[in-house]
Structure 1
Amino acid sequence: MSLFLQSFAQRFSTLDAGCLEKLEALYSPDIAFRDPLHQIHGLPALQAYFAKLYANVQDVRYDFHDADEAAPGRGYLRWTLHFRHPRLAGGGLISLEGCSHLCWTDRVHLHQDYFDAGALLYEQVPVLGSVVGWLKGRLA
């Protein structure tokens, strides 16, 4: 794992609602952040997104599995996110596999997350989750 990616993963995993000022050390002011559900531009918008995220979830933990620096200043982190949300999965623990593509100079200026949005949301809602699970079984 590259030194930059290792440091980023370690610092990112310590984030919580009480220390979002740490985002300034990780991300450039012009950060572009994308995932299957959001597109965010600029550090203030990213800080607001994380504040809302951490206000609605409990027991947030990232396990980083591996990383690959594809080229200087560009790489990938593979992770599992573990969290609880009072309105998803009956408040039980949810684990989500994903991967982050990062581009950086001294700080990250592009962060794109890849994960199954259905596994994150739709499969965790009681009635809809059953339907999605049934469809996945039929398509497999």
Structure 2
Amino acid sequence: MNNTASVNALIAFYEDLSPVSVARFPEFYADDAFFKDPFNEVRGVVSIQGIFTHMFRQLSAPRFVVRERVLAENGALLVWEMHFRRVLARGGGEAQVIRGASHLKFDAAGKVVWHRDYWDAAEELYEKLSGIGWLMRFLKKRLAA
């Protein structure tokens, strides 16, 4: 199966994702799709939509930029950046970026059935938090070769 069209459509969807377009997940994901990232593990397109709805409540102006794609017969790997500001920060907060990758598998209809996000929560998130960031940076330096 050639999934180039499905991957291109999915990238366009993510790069234009908004609180309103979260409703469109069923166009791209199978009803019983699996999703996992460092904080969530869910099954079902409704649960996946819930994760992204929550993201829009927690972050200001989140947006995805896909930097690379690797296509396989029934899947793809997308290398991406998520740009955002923390909602609770004063003045909208400092601009932040999380860099990660998504491993995707598609069904015969070209819908995502398996989505696993890989990104380093310690480096990309915890080190930047004022409360525990110093501890994470200390541990990283201490454990480095």
Give the TM-score normalised by structure 2.
Answer: 0.86
Return the alpha-carbon distance in structure 1 between the equivalents of residues 88 and 118 of structure 2.
23
Return the alpha-carbon distance in structure 2 between the equivalents of residues 121 and 88 of structure 1.
14
Deviation at 1:119, TM superposition (A): 2.7
Q: What corresponds to 2:75 in structure 1? A: 74
Alignment pair present for 1:60 and 2:62: yes
Alignment pair present for 1:115 and 2:119: yes
How many residue pairs align between the two structures? 139
Return the alpha-carbon distance in structure 2 between the equivalents of residues 112 and 88 of structure 1.
29
Write the deviation string for residues 41-73 of structure 1: whole angstroms up to 9, x where unpaired.
111111122111111111212111111113x11
- Deviation >4 Å, runs of 4+: 87-90
Task: Give me the identity figure in percent.
Answer: 27
Return the alpha-carbon distance in structure 2 between the equivalents of residues 8 and 116 of structure 1.
23
Deviation at 1:121, TM superposition (A): 3.2
Return the alpha-carbon distance in structure 2 between the equivalents of residues 19 and 7 of structure 1.
13
What's the Cα RMSD here? Answer: 2.0
Q: What corresponds to 1:133 in structure 2? A: 137
Unaligned stretches of 5+ in structure 2?
Answer: none
